[in-house]
Structure 1
Amino acid sequence: MRWAGRGRHQRPGRLRGDVISVSETAEEVLVESHGEVRVITLNRPDARNPASTTMLFRLTELARELADDKTVRVVVLTGAGKAFSAGGDFKHFVATATDPAVARATLDNGREFVQAMLDLPIPVIAAVNGAAVGFGATLAALSDIVLMADAAFIAEPHVNVGLVLGDGISVTWPFLVALNKAKELVYTGDRIYAADAVACGLANRVVPSADLMTEALALAERIARQPRSALEGSKAILNMYPKAVLSTVLESMLVRQYDQITGPDHGRIAQELIAKAGARK
């Protein structure tokens, strides 16, 4: 069953003073009902579910809508096809690299998305079915429980393209893994595969690819049977740790990210990537 609830947060036609347009007909994010469980699917499988402008803003709205919907007890987040989310959409990358207004709007939405995910009272299970890169890594990090397919991996390559680490990564990874391990992954952009992700704390367990959604839904249904008030209260307490650093760590990250986006390192790398893409056409 496709879910169409909106709650009090209505989807705007335009955001940030007409900088970003969200298509009403886009199906980049699918939401399906399984009783009291909602399955959110990133739905650009041909491109490995990259984070487009539409997707980024829609997910912020969706987190708020789910918080308002008292019929939902647990969320399962996954990707269509072979990837969870393999990073940023190239058109969005070009827009943020070449238009400071788009960059600012994107960063503002990033702040709102992290806040909305941490405020979401119901548990979120990430069923990481493949590559979780950049924004995909952030989605996993902001989830409460992470199940990874045996061939899946996580990577945070922002530094590789002249940017500081991502917004959700900045406020979660230091609580999930040893700080020196977080630094290694951020500084290198290296992939960390499922078994190693579990070993270091970025994921809960490895699941055979064919069984991933079955196990994620079974876990979601089990958690959904728990007393709502106790579950939501426990999540609120545990999320006080990352929320305590939003006004310091996240705000510093956003300021530095804007400086990087508009600075020479990212500008040079972005132009090189844009030129390569043009040469391949």
Structure 2
Amino acid sequence: MDFESYKCLSFARRGRILTIALNRPERLNAVDGVMHEELSRVFFDAARDEGSDIIVLTGAGRAFCSGGDFGWLQEMIDHPSEYHKAGTDARRIIMSILECDKPIIAKVNGAAVGLGATLSLFCDVIFAREGGSFGDPHVSVGFVTGDGGAAIWPQLIGYARAKEYLMTGDMIPATEAARMGLINHVVPANELDARVDEFVDRLHSGAQQAIRWTKASVNIGLKQLASSILDASLGYELLTNYTDDHREAVDAFINKRKPVFGGAS
């Protein structure tokens, strides 16, 4: 892999384990346009990386990912053509995770919000630290849950629960997320690295082709589902980029006030 071509992602190797870290810790790893574009290609690159068999996805600093950077959201309001490109990249992000035959393990070291939650939930096995949380508050900023949440949440916790959390944007503590089956494991913060290393080493000691092709087999249906849902949900999200409610939500956040939504029009 050409690690030097990435500015907002960092990389580390431990033997044949490749760790990819979202690396904007000063912004709680909020996704801006540069990181979003890099995410649209990193899993394709990692799939072809001859030096690794297993991928760990995590965040630098005290958060996994706080969602979309509001400066970037404002930029897409001001220049809608930027969203058109982001929509194409968003589809590539999800499909590249699903098409990568190497196991991808999420090490969620804090809050996983919006696209951050989506990234973690599309991974194959998800470990989170106690005190972490998961949520997809797209609606809180007047956005449709377009970047994959509408596809993955119902598969993990059922439609009724998924709609409740996606329509409210409520955050879920990691312990509750594990209890309801949204994620696999929640562990004490000081044990997170060791537990992930232990699991990854166990996978790596197994039959690699059998493990990869098992993942590929399980993902067949999920790829079909995600592909069809993304085509619609990203289109709906694009439409909400033009709404007064979205403009109001972004302006309210930037100016540190509560948004006042106007309702359906």
Does TM-score exceed 0.5, indicating one fold? yes
Partner of 1:190: 170
Partner of 1:42: 22
The one of 114, 121, 125 equivalent to 2:94 is 114
Normalising by structure 2, we get a TM-score of 0.92
2:206 matched to 1:213? no
CA contact (8 A) 2:22 2:65 kept: yes
TM-score (norm 1): 0.87
- Higher alpha-carbon deviation: 101-110 or 165-174: 165-174
CA distance in 1, matches of 2:107, 2:83: 29
* Counterpart position of 1:151: 131
Which amino acid is 1:150 matched to? Answer: E
Whether contact under 8 Å (1:97, 1:270) holds in the other structure is no
Query: Which structure 2 residue ranges, 5 or more long, are not aligned?
Result: 258-265
**Distance of 1:116 and 1:183 partners within structure 2:** 25
Secondary structure in structure 1 of the residue aligned to 2:121: helix
1:67 matched to 2:47: yes
Aligned equivalent of 2:151: 171
Q: What is the alpha-carbon distance in structure 1 between the residues aligned to residue 28 and residue 255 of structure 2?
A: 22
1:141 is aligned, of 121, 137, 154, to 121
Which amino acid letter does the alignment assign opposite residue 49 of structure 2? D
Secondary structure of 2:144's aligned partner: coil
Is the CA contact 2:70–2:250 (under 8 Å) kept in the aligned structure 1?
Answer: no
Aligned position for 1:271 = 251
Query: Which blocks of at least 5 consecutive residues in structure 1 are unaligned?
Result: 12-22
Aligned match for 1:238, one of 187, 200, 218: 218
Whether contact under 8 Å (2:134, 2:173) holds in the other structure is: yes
Q: Which whole-Å deviations, capped at 9, do the CAs of 1:217-260 have from their partners, x for residues lacking one?
A: 22111111221211111001111122112342110001101101
- Residues 104, 258 of structure 1: 8 Å contact kept: yes
Question: Distance in 2 between the 1:119 and 1:239 partners?
Answer: 8
Aligned to 2:84, which of 73, 86, 104?
Answer: 104
Letter in 1 for 2:90: G
What is the aligned residue count? 257
Q: Which residue of 2 aligns with 1:81?
A: 61
Q: 2:70 aligns with which of 83, 90, 97?
A: 90
Give the percent of matched residue pairs that are identical in Structure 1 and Structure 2: 32
TM-superposed deviation, 1:44:
1.6
Partner of 2:12: helix, strand, or coil? Answer: strand
One-letter identity of the residue aligned with 2:122: L
CA deviation after TM superposition for structure 1 residue 24, in Å: 4.7
Q: Distance in 1 between matches of 2:28 and 2:225?
A: 32
Structure 2 letter corresponding to 1:74 = I
* Distance in 1 (alpha carbons) for counterparts of 2:75 and 2:134: 25
Distance 2:239 2:249 in 1: 15
2:160 is aligned to: 180
Q: CA RMSD in A?
A: 1.7
Question: Could you say if the C-alpha distance between residues 178 and 25 of structure 1 is closer, same or farther in structure 2, counting changes exceeding 3 Å?
Answer: closer
TM-superposed CA distance for 1:30, in Å, is: 0.5
Where do 4+ consecutive residues of structure 1 move more than 2 Å? 23-26, 267-277
Q: How far off is 1:97 after superposition? A: 2.0
The 1-side partners of 2:162 and 2:225 are apart by 16
